[in-house]
């Protein structure tokens, strides 16, 4: 729900790096609150969303270190 809405905002518009970092952090915090959903498909989606958020966060860190 909320994590998906925040991620959609990121995907739909041109957003500067600081906003992306802030929103990805928010998405990661929301996803961290999700435990077992009692639905294997939903659990897979949450796991995939976590991996994507981690990859975006990692990419931001890599980009910022190359800017220095």
Query: Measured between alpha carbons, how far is 3 from 60 in angstroms, rounded to an integer?
Result: 18
pLDDT for 48 beyond 70: yes
29 or 4, higher pLDDT? 29
Tell me the whole-structure pTM to 2 decimals: 0.73
Query: From CA 60, how far away is CA 66, in angstroms rounded?
Result: 10
Whole-number Å distance between alpha carbons of 23 and 8: 10
Number of domains in the chain: 1
At residue 68, the pLDDT reads 58
Range of the domain at 40: 2-66
Please say if the pLDDT value at position 8 is more than 70.
Answer: yes
Instruction: State the pLDDT at residue 12.
Output: 74
12 exposed, middle or buried (CB, 10 Å; 0-12, 13-18, 19+)?
exposed
């Amino acid at each position: 729900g909320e994590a998906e809405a925040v991620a959609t905002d990121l995907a739909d518009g041109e957003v500067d790096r600081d906003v992306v970092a802030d929103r990805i952090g928010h998405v990661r915090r929301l996803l961290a609150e999700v435990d077992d959903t009692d639905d294997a498909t939903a659990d897979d989606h949450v796991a995939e969303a976590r991996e994507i958020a981690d990859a975006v966060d990692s990419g931001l860190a890599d980009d910022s270190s190359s800017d220095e």
